Amino acid sequence: MTTLIAGTMGLFFLFLGLTLFRQHKKFLRKCIRVQGTIVEINEWFHTKRGMLGNQRRNLTPKNYPIVQYRYNGQNYEYQADTDVNPVFMPKGTSLTVLIEPMRPKAAKLEMGMKVDKILFSIFTFLGLISLLVAIIDFDLASFVKDMYDPFFIVIAISFAIFVFVYLGPMLKEMKRSSIYPERANKVD
């Protein structure tokens, strides 16, 4: 049973990591670099609920810059998803923005691309490790014996339904669409 779960998780994470990495490379092939400027910095304090239901406030703020850039005579503005230090990157700082020429509202800060690549690599690595554990742990005699256990059959069918019904369409849509959505707005 462990083999089945580890193998399925491994395939899922491997597929997720490779799909995201492929989408990332596709975006990089299509994109061009334009200069952007930080026009504002939004400071966010994330709140979390404690075990007793009380709200706790994270004392370290996240600073997300609002970046303005120009492409084909039109100004665009978007809130980046990369946390910046306002001491080293105050308002007016010039940054490199990656955009797709056919979708200029799909923008990403160049400095945030390394974090994405690391995240996709972690998913791929987790998938490979899980598959390796499944291969090492696989025992054909035990697997055949477990196949006739009613509990195993119910768990395997439930897991397969979950993967195909819930995760399948999500992965299919993710494979077809861009991982960097159009989040910028036109400004005058």
Give the per-residue pLDDT at 52: 62
Spatial contact of 101 and 34, defined as CB atoms under 8 Å apart: no
Looking at the structure, tell me whether residues 137 and 97 fall in a common domain: no
Return the higher-pLDDT residue of 116 and 60.
116
Write the secondary structure of the chain as one string of H (helix), E (strand) and C (coil).
CHHHHHHHHHHHHHHHHHHHHHHHHHHHHHCEEEEEEEEEEEEECCEEECCCCCEEECCCCEEEEEEEEEECCEEEEEECCCCCCCCCCCCCCEEEEEEECCEEEEEEEHHHHHHHHHHHHHHHHHHHHHHHHHHHHCCHHHHHHHCCCHHHHHHHHHHHHHHHHHHHHHHHHHHHCCCCCCCCEEEC
Do 52 and 18 have their domain in common? no
- Residue-level pLDDT at 155: 77
130 and 96 inside one domain? no
Q: Which domain, by its residues, includes 154?
A: 2-26+115-187
Confidence of residue 95 (pLDDT cuts 50, 70, 90): very high
Q: Give yes or no: residues 180 and 138 share one domain.
A: yes
**Based on the domain organization, do 69 and 139 belong to the same domain?**
no
Which pLDDT tens digit goes with each residue over 158-172?
Answer: 877 877 787 777 767
Instruction: Tokens 């406030």: give the residue.
Output: 57
Rounded Cα distance between 149 and 156, Å, is 11
* Residue-wise pLDDT tens digits, 42-83: 888 766 666 666 666 666 778 889 999 999 999 999 998 888
For residues 179 and 128, state if they share a domain.
Answer: yes
Helices 168-176 + 2-30 axis angle, to 10: 20
Number of structural domains, the chain?
A: 2
CA atoms within 13 A on the CB side of 20: 18
CB–CB of 98/33 below 8 Å? yes
Residues 36 and 107 in one domain: yes
Is 51 in the same domain as 119? no
- Regarding whether 159 and 123 lie in a shared domain, the answer is yes
